[in-house]
Amino acid sequence: MLWLYLLGAVTVLAIALRRVLRRQTPLSEELYSTKVAFDHLQSGVAWVRADGTLGTVNSALAATLTADPKGLLGRDWITMFPKLEQERIKEAYSQMLLSGKTQFDTYGHRADGTYAWLNVLLVAVHDRKMRFVGHHCLVLDSTHAKILEDRVKELERDAFNAAKQA
């Protein structure tokens, strides 16, 4: 008689296990496709944990900073920016904590010692109990546009000076 109960219990557990596995397959496929999309975004994206360390960095952000994405993981997120800008970025971070998101322009510190002109959007993330769990750092590299803008200003200034002297 005991074997009948055991057989019934094993059957129920096998059915439950099959149902759980069927539900997990679409979720794992969705997670994989989301990860692929995240890695191939045109702008930089980083997930920053509540302790301030980089949890995830996509390849576009790593390319902007001329760094290895895996080498950035675990670093303090503020080290992506030059020391002269860090105080201003901490103020923007405080603003993000109050309002949920903030946007600013700053320089990014590349691994080769050069700088990139960045437009940064910080978005706070809270769990279902409204506890702060981290934030997204979305970065648009606008270095090329900044260089062109500076060049146009320089040409306008030269044209103005030439017209003034004539």
Specify the DSSP class assigned to residue 79.
Answer: G
Q: What is the pLDDT of residue 28?
A: 57
Q: What is the pLDDT of residue 87?
A: 95
Q: What is the pLDDT of residue 135?
A: 92
Q: How many C-beta neighbours within 10 Å does residue 62 have?
A: 19
Q: Chunk the chain into consecutive blocks of 10 residues (it has 166) and report each block's average pLDDT, rounded to whole numbers.
A: 74 77 61 49 80 90 87 91 93 94 90 88 87 89 81 83 78
Q: What is the pLDDT of residue 40?
A: 46
Please name which of 52, 57, 47, 61 lies closest in space to residue 116, comparing C-alpha atoms.
61
For residues 140 and 44, is the Cβ–Cβ distance under 8 A? yes
Instruction: Return d(Cα 57, Cα 137) in angstroms, integer.
Output: 9
Q: What is the pLDDT of residue 35?
A: 54
